């Protein structure tokens, strides 16, 4: 059980940078579109 929890936590920590990069890229791509539409 502990090993599974640890591996899950490690996988989550490894995924955080990818999620942050995706979120920052999405937020960086969205505002110009909103300005262009308006």
Give the residue with greater pLDDT, 2 vs 10: 10
Q: Which of 5-9, 15-19, 25-29 has the lowest mean pLDDT?
A: 25-29
Give the residue with greater pLDDT, 29 vs 13: 13
Question: For the chain, what is the domain count?
Answer: 1
What are the start-end ranges of the E strands in the chain? none
Write the CA distances from 36 to 11, 22, 26, 30, 33, integer angstroms. 38, 22, 16, 10, 5
For residue 27, the Cα-to-chain-centroid distance in whole angstroms is 11
pLDDT(32) > 80: no
DSSP classification of residue 9: H
The two three-digit tokens of residue 34, written as one number: 């909103």
Range of the domain at 4: 1-38
Pick the closest to residue 38 from 30, 28, 26 (CA basis).
30
């Amino acid at each position: 059980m502990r090993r599974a929890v640890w591996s899950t936590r490690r996988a989550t920590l490894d995924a955080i940078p990818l999620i942050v990069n995706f979120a920052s890229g999405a937020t960086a791509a969205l505002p110009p579109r909103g300005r262009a539409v308006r």
